[in-house]
Amino acid sequence: MTEGSQLIRGLEGVVAAETRLCDLDGAHGRLAYGGYDIDELARRASFEEVAHLLWYGELPKPAQLDQLVIGLTAARELPGPVVDAFRLMPADTDPMRALQAAVALLGMFDPDATDNGHAANLRKAVRLTSQIASAICAHHRVRQGQEPVRPAAGLSHAANFLYMLTGERPGAAAVKAFDASLTLYAEHELNASTFTTRTIVSTQSDMHSAVAGGVGALKGPLHGGAGEAVMRTLMEIGEPAAVESFAARAIAEKRRLMGFGHRVYRAGDPRAAILRGMAEEACRQSKQFKWFEMAVGLHERINKAKGLIPNVDFYSAPLFYSLGIPVDLFTPVIAAGRIAGWAANVIEQHDDNRLIRPRAEYVGPGRREFVAVEKR
């Protein structure tokens, strides 16, 4: 790197793209997609409406929504070889690894795979959104030695996901909570996985390649993997009465607590506040209130001691658990929501592209003389 360079570790605060998708106000703890407040979208819009907003820039009119639903429903069946591939994977394959492989495979069967044009990208956004949901559920069934559940026409995206996961029709409250969760996870500006997708397509690579990369980035515990870690922490604590001693130990040991902290939000993550209400309700309904109680206890104790805020992955953990989602599917579920945003970012990047290629500050040895191997 040339003289006078400025290293910004982790690209903190660097503005690397223009976007019309998501307005993230970290100082005030506010978030909006396409101008609509996240709280209102989570309460009043379906995930399908939110996907339309992200992909087309506007909430759909009834006929547009019908058309999108038809497209999503038509794309739910997976190509046979993708399910066959799940059968070939070791039974203990991590679901995120299986999902990443599935996305790469889906690219081999997609008629628009190599077309980066706007219209083709919109078609792929629809297909991938449906297929990712189907792939998560099919892999889960296959790894348990069961047949995948065929998608059910007439069910919303959220309802069909829960149906394909369990084979049982979910209740209205579970569907609403799950649908709102997908919306809350749908988009979040230049988070690590979305930045990854943008970087990949900035080389004029394609949506499937980008999304496979996004899945890989999301998997890490500092990103989407945090939710699973939160649930494992709550399980380790075990009972509400044990929160205090756990927190005291974690603070003394300076442990990094998953589900706390955020690079951008300083005044609280608005998604966490919404998820907290949903988790309370779902834990009460499922008679597993202790998970919510423990989460609140930990939140308050850690916030008081360290000033750390809970992020989106904190209250989604007791929520997902009480909805019956297996713990190692928490991160794939986030991918099932985030695909809407990944695809929207890919479209934005392709439509107005410049190669993303930052610099690194060289800190290795100065120039030195080469010595032939036999003389070293």
Q: Does 308 bind ligand ACO (CB under 6 A)?
A: yes
Q: Which stretch in 47-55, 74-82, 88-96, 223-231 sits in contact with ligand ACO by CB under 6 A?
A: 223-231
Residue type, 39: D
Q: Which stretch in 96-104, 112-120, 217-225, 275-283 sits in contact with ligand ACO by CB under 6 A?
A: 217-225
Q: How far is CA 215 from CA 24, 79, 145, 291, in A?
A: 22, 20, 24, 28
- Tokens 């396409």 belong to which residue? 34
Q: Which of 21, 54, 69, 226 binds ligand ACO (CB under 6 A)?
A: 226
d(CA 270, CA 69) in angstroms, rounded, equals: 28
Q: Which of 60, 107, 213, 261 binds ligand ACO (CB under 6 A)?
A: 261
Q: Which of 45, 54, 257, 329 binds ligand ACO (CB under 6 A)?
A: 257
Q: Which is nearer to ligand ACO, 12 or 352 (CB)?
A: 12
Task: Identify whether the C-beta of residue 128 lies closer than 8 Å to the C-beta of residue 339.
Answer: yes
Catalytic residue status for 262:
yes
Q: How far is the CB of 325 from ligand ACO (least distance, A)?
A: 16
Residues 6 or more apart whose CB falls under 8 angstroms from that of 371 comprise none
Q: Does 301 bind ligand ACO (CB under 6 A)?
A: no
367: exposed, middle or buried (Cβ count in 10 Å: 0-12, 13-18, 19+): exposed
Q: Which of 312, 307, 135 is nearest to 211 (CA)?
A: 135
- Tokens 């410049």 belong to which residue? 354
Catalytic residue status for 52:
no
Q: Does 82 bind ligand ACO (CB under 6 A)?
A: no
Q: Does 273 bind ligand ACO (CB under 6 A)?
A: no
Residues 6 or more apart whose CB falls under 8 angstroms from that of 197 comprise 210, 211, 213, 214, 342, 345, 346, 349
Q: Which of 195, 246, 260, 315 binds ligand ACO (CB under 6 A)?
A: 260
Q: Which of 110, 112, 313, 348 binds ligand ACO (CB under 6 A)?
A: 313
Report which residue's Cβ sits closest to ligand ACO. 261
Other beta carbons within 10 Å of 255: 12
Q: Which is nearer to ligand ACO, 149 or 298 (CB)?
A: 298
Task: Identify whether the C-beta of residue 184 lies closer than 8 Å to the C-beta of residue 32.
Answer: no
Q: Which is nearer to ligand ACO, 120 or 258 (CB)?
A: 258
Kindly name the residue from 139, 157, 313, 350 that is annotated as catalytic.
313
Kindly name the residue from 140, 208, 262, 350 that is annotated as catalytic.
262
Q: How far is the CB of 267 from ligand ACO (least distance, A)?
A: 15
d(CA 347, CA 240) in angstroms, rounded, equals: 46
H helix and E strand count, the chain: 16, 3
Q: Does 258 bind ligand ACO (CB under 6 A)?
A: yes
Q: Does 182 bind ligand ACO (CB under 6 A)?
A: no
Interface residues with ligand ACO (CB under 6 A) are 10, 191, 222-224, 226, 256-263, 308, 311-313
Residues serving a catalytic function are 262, 313
